[in-house]
Amino acid sequence: MTRHRAAWGFGLAVTLVVTAFSVVAEDYLSRDDFLQLAFGDGQPEMHTLWLTQETKAAAREAVGWLPAALRLRYWQAGERTAWILEDIGKEKPITLGVAVLGGQIERVEVLAFRESRGWEIRYPFFTDQFGGLTLAGDGHLSEPIDGITGATLSVRAVERVARLALWLDSQVRG
């Protein structure tokens, strides 16, 4: 009888964990949903920024980081740009959407989170801190970001992506 209860309890625990992860996975935005939030009903043009050796060196000097890619896609309508970029949290990539207008961050959205810890970065209490921030002369954000206990590496990844998106925006808008 005890073995039966233990097996039933284990099965229930596995079902709850799988259900919890399924619910969390559904809360992330798709690329199209992010672009809809960033541009509303406007139709942004998709562009490609090729990363030359000079561009990579300048990005590393300006913000200290650049993803290992040959090109980056971005969307633009008028003065607004949107970037979908990835950075590693602790071990796995985090996909983020960053919308920039006039050299200021409008919004940051977590589009995919693959780590086992640090998923709290997807909530507005964290992402809303980035609104209105600019890139300071030293390559950091214009204001400090409050971290989240237990999510330090994820927080740092979002900060790096935000800095890079601001720098890239300045490059494509000239």
DSSP line for 109-135: EEEEE-SSS-GGGGSHHHHGGGTT--B
Q: Does residue 79 sit within a domain? A: yes
- 2 in a structural domain: no
Specify the pLDDT at position 141. 96
In which domain, by residue range, is 70 found? 29-173
Domain count, the chain: 1
The pLDDT assigned to 13 comes to 45
pLDDT tens series, the chain, 174 aa:
555 554 544 444 444 444 444 334 457 899 999 999 999 988 899 999 999 999 999 999 888 888 888 999 999 999 999 999 999 999 999 999 999 999 999 999 999 999 989 999 999 999 999 999 999 999 999 999 999 999 999 999 999 999 999 999 999 987
89, 147, 59, 30: CA torsion to nearest 10: 60
- Quick one: tokens of 67? 């993803």
What pLDDT, on the 0 to 100 scale, is given for residue 15? Answer: 45
Task: Report if residue 21 sits inside a domain.
Answer: no
Identify whether 19 is part of a domain.
no
Q: Is 74 contained in some domain?
A: yes
For residue 31, which of 94, 103, 112, 102 has the smallest C-alpha distance? 112
Is 91 domain-assigned? yes
- Contact between residue 144 and residue 162 where contact means Cβ atoms under 8 Å apart: no
Q: State if pTM tops 0.85.
A: no
Domain presence at residue 8: no
- Would 4 be classed as within a structural domain? no
Given a contact cutoff of 8 angstroms between Cβ atoms, the answer to whether 47 and 75 are in contact is yes
pLDDT at 23: 39
